[in-house]
Amino acid sequence: MRQWFFVLCLGLCACSGRHEGILLDSAREREIEYKVWLPVEAVKAPLVLLSHGSGGHYSNLEWLSNALVKAGYVVAAVNHPYNTVGDNTPEGIIGVWDRPGDLSLLLTSLLDSPRYSRAIDVQRVGAAGFSSGGYTVIALAGGIYELSRMQTYCRGEDAGPDCDLAPRQALERASAASISLRDPRIQAVLAMAPAVGPAMTPDSLSHIDVPVALFATADDELLKPRLNALYYAEHIPEIQLSMQPVGGHFLFLSCNTATSLADWLLPEFNLCGQGIDVDRKALQSDIAAQAVAFFDQTIGHSVRHDR
């Protein structure tokens, strides 16, 4: 029960805004909450889609979304059904392969909307995500999850704390189609501490042909870097890798009232990095600046794709 309280607390910092809504995905029986941030000058601007971590909420990444909007990007994020605050299940935690479709559906909806289509340049779309969200955006670039690989990892001696975020019986009962979830509209992805590295097929990662940037920490206490961040970096061509020596897994998570409360009740997760000798806000500010620079180079205002 303690882990379910933990994942609920990750998202209690929801922020209100003018551009919120719900997408109805009848084909997959999902209701997908989303939020859109528009910059001041939003006419055919580049778009970045955001994917939160397991059990989290789109507001957890507002430190990044704010920087992107300030730099002139449209930003759109979802709360992934069955794996977000107040709606988190073992099947949702395990079923990461359901997440990429949420962002693809949101992108389609935005481009079909008169309200947003005039603000977005469809030829300049990127995606960024944290933890399970990091996997999500890599899947949109062509990375393929294979359930049997994750089962083998969680049964073996290398099994890490990530295998305990949901009952292992849920993993054994799960089924997934190991197919590509690549969305060719996504032109660049940024992954922060991406999860489920042990499940990803090396061949699929080696065929990713869009720019990828990856940010992680060498002291990640939840996802072993050797099997996750460094594994992705080994197999994705020409990836831009930035490893912070210190900061922990949750460096990429906003620290607020909800996460502070979770730290008090569940100190083993250390969401706000207590006792880690880093300036968290300064590091997030630096990472946000690097993220803006990456998207500027790949899909940003200085980049025009004539097709």
Cα separations (Å) of 67 from 72, 156, 258?
9, 41, 22
pLDDT tens track for 210-252:
999 999 999 999 999 999 999 999 999 999 999 999 999 999 9
pLDDT tens track for 155-208:
999 999 999 998 888 887 777 678 899 999 999 999 999 999 999 999 999 999
Q: How far apart are CA 77 and CA 103, in angstroms?
A: 8
Residue 1 has pLDDT above 50, yes or no: no
Q: Model's pTM, two decimal places? A: 0.90
Q: How far apart are CA 128 and CA 286, in angstroms?
A: 16
Looking at the chain, which runs of residues are DSSP E strands? 20-25, 30-37, 45-51, 74-79, 83-84, 87-88, 120-130, 188-192, 212-217, 240-244
Q: Is 30 exposed, middle or buried (0-12, 13-18, 19+ CB in 10 A)?
A: middle
Question: By C-alpha distance, which of 22, 25, 33, 26 is closest to 56?
Answer: 33
What is residue 259's predicted lDDT score, i.e. its pLDDT?
Answer: 66
CATH number of 2-298: 3.40.50.1820
Residue 104 has pLDDT above 80, yes or no: yes
Cross-strand partners of 272: none
What is residue 255's predicted lDDT score, i.e. its pLDDT?
Answer: 77
